[in-house]
Amino acid sequence: MVIVEVSLLSGFVLAPGSRTLLERRTTVKKIEVKADVVYIYLEKLSDESQTFILQLEQVIQMKNLKPASIKVYDYYQPGGLQIPSYSGVGS
């Protein structure tokens, strides 16, 4: 099993509809949402590229918003591969 750990940007939460869309994907086994982190559990990874879109809602206006991080790691060997940071994309 593989975990995608997404740290949320300060002042943001996962939009309710985003969780439902993620759970419909066949590769997603489970989703956990904690205060400022979303954990996406995948059955396995393959050589095929996958894109996960998380819709976030801003609940608190923040100044000087800092980038957040994403980690991808094996559940049984949590050393992980870390993607340094990401920034929000407004719509």
pTM over 0.85: no
Residue 88: the pLDDT is 62
Query: Using 50, 70 and 90 to split pLDDT, how confident is the model at 23?
Result: confident
Output the six-digit token pair for 23. 């759970």
> 75 — phi, psi (to 5°)?
-55, -35
Amino acid in position 50: Q
Please, what are the domains in the chain?
A: 2-86 (2.60.40.690)
Dihedral sign (CA 30, 37, 54, 86) = negative
80-89 pLDDT, tens per residue?
665 655 666 5
CA–CA separation, 60 and 75 (whole Å) = 32
Residue 4 burial (10 A CB sphere; 0-12, 13-18, 19+) = buried
